Each structure stands twice: as C-alpha cells, then as structure tokens.
C-alpha cells in the first residue's frame, strides 16, 4: 500500500533537528494518528512519549534502543518498535522515508 | 483551514536539493493533486511543468520569477503563481511550509 486513503493531513509539518527530520501528521477516521516523514542522512537521538512503531518505506538506517548495546539494521519493508517514555539513536545512511504508528 | 480532509496521501516523499525541500503528494476525491512541503533556509531554483500556485502556510521567503528583475516577499497567508514550463528563484529566510496547487 503506497498511500493512505480517506484520511486528513495537517498542512503544517513538524521540522526537527534543523530539518534533518520533516514529518507530516495524518489523521484516520477512527481517530488514530500516524506521522509520515523523512530523515536525512544523520545521527540523531529521538525521544518517545507514547510507544511507537517505525515502519521504513524507503532508505536505510541502524538503530540503538535506549539501554541496549546492540545496533540493528533496517531498510525498506522493515519495522521496529520503541517503548513509551524512552529514546533511540538512529543513524541514517540512505535518506529514510517512514510511517510512525503510535499507541 | 489547517488540514485537508477526505484525501489520500502518498507515503513516500519527494526529496529535492539534498533535503532542502521535502514534499508529500495529496490526492483529492475530484482527481486533483496538491503537494505539501517544507523548504529549509536556502536559495534554490525550481522548474515548473504545469502552472502552479504556491500558498505559504508558515515561514518567509522572497521570490524572483523567470524573466523578471524584481523580487517579491512572501510570508504565511500569501500565495504566488508561477507559469508552466518556467522557473523561479526562491530565497527562504524562515523555514517555509507550503501547499502547491497545480493546473
């Protein structure tokens, strides 16, 4: 599925880390919300509020979850989960396109 | 209106100019399409295929259309039109959030 249908999309983006991450919010008929974004090649640390699942739609990265010593590699088609009130370090080697699912 | 309702949104973004411009495509029930994007502070030259109207939802820029000597300033709430098969130079001073309307 290359697109979300029958959704609302917020016009204004969120821009993080001086533009290394740009994300748009998508609202679903059931009241849930996802963000759709891009992370440019960089090494960044993201904090989570709610638990989230990052679904990679294009690009390549490696990720280290808070409190873990291992890095995991992810690319298009992969997903990884992050607990709530936590953080993860991400190193993007090829510009990452992602969908972030919450809750 | 801060969001588009009852639309489809393409998951993968377009990334231009090494990430200085990130744009997502929004598809409307009538078959029309707009793009929703961000331009980081930079001086960039964009080419147009179809005629387009750039609606600024946040930020600040100045624009010089192809073949014109004057620069015009634009900010949130402003729009400017660009002919088809043309180009424009844009200097973004505050990160620009825009909706691009085609046709």
Residue A56 burial (10 A CB sphere; 0-12, 13-18, 19+):
buried
Contacts of A20 in chain B (CB under 8 A): 19
> How many residues make up chain B in this entry?
103
The pLDDT tens digits for B38-51 are 999 999 999 999 99
Which of B37, B39, B44, B27 shows the shortest CA–CA distance to B95?
A: B39
Q: How many CB atoms lie within 10 A of CB B48?
A: 19
Q: Which single residue is written with the structure tokens 């995991």?
A: A72
Res A3 pLDDT > 90: yes
Supply the pLDDT for residue A1: 80
Res A4 pLDDT > 90: yes
Which of B90, B91, B63, B95 shows the shortest CA–CA distance to B76?
A: B95
Percent of chain B with pLDDT over 90: 98
User: Is B90:B103 a contact under the CB 8 Å cutoff?
Assistant: no
What's the gap in Å between the CA of A67 and the closest CA on chain B? Answer: 31
Supply the pLDDT for residue A39: 98
- Cα B89 from chain centroid (whole Å): 12
Which of A64, A60, A51 shows the shortest CA–CA distance to A97?
A: A60
The pLDDT tens digits for B71-81 are 999 999 999 99
CA–CA dist B26, A24 (Å, integer): 11
Residue to mutate among B10, B16, B19, with most A CBs inside 10 A, is B19
Q: Which single residue is written with the structure tokens 């709430």?
A: B77
Positive or negative CA dihedral for A14, A17, A22, A27?
negative
Residue to mutate among B7, B23, B26, B33, with most A CBs inside 10 A, is B7
Record: contact B9-A19, CB cut-off 8 A: no
Which residue of chain B comes nearest to A57, CA vs CA? B12
Q: Which DSSP helix (H) or strand (E) runs through B19?
A: none
Q: Is A15 an interface residue toward B (CB < 8 Å)?
A: yes
Domains and CATH numbers, chain A: 8-102 (2.60.120.10)
Which residue of chain B comes nearest to A76, CA vs CA? B12
103 residues of chain B, pLDDT tens digit each: 899 999 999 999 999 999 999 999 999 999 999 999 999 999 999 999 999 999 999 999 999 999 999 999 999 999 999 999 999 999 999 999 999 999 7
- Give the 3-state secondary structure percentages of chain A, helix then strand then coil, rounded to 5: 5, 65, 30
What's the gap in Å between the CA of B100 and the closest CA on chain A? Answer: 11
Reduced to 3 states (helix: H, G, I; strand: E, B; else coil), residue B18 is: helix
What would you report as the CA-atom Rg of chain B, rounded to the nearest whole angstrom? 13
Contacts of A33 in chain B (CB under 8 A): none
């Amino acid at each position: 599925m290359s697109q979300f249908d029958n959704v609302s999309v917020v016009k204004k983006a969120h821009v993080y880390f001086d533009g290394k991450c740009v994300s748009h919010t998508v609202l679903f008929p059931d009241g849930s919300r996802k963000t759709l974004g891009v992370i440019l090649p960089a090494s960044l640390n993201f904090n989570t509020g709610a638990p989230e699942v990052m679904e990679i739609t294009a690009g390549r990265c490696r990720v280290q979850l808070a409190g873990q010593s291992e890095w995991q590699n992810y690319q298009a088609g992969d997903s990884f989960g992050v607990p709530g009130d936590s953080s993860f370090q991400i190193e993007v080697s090829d510009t990452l396109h992602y969908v972030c699912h919450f809750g």
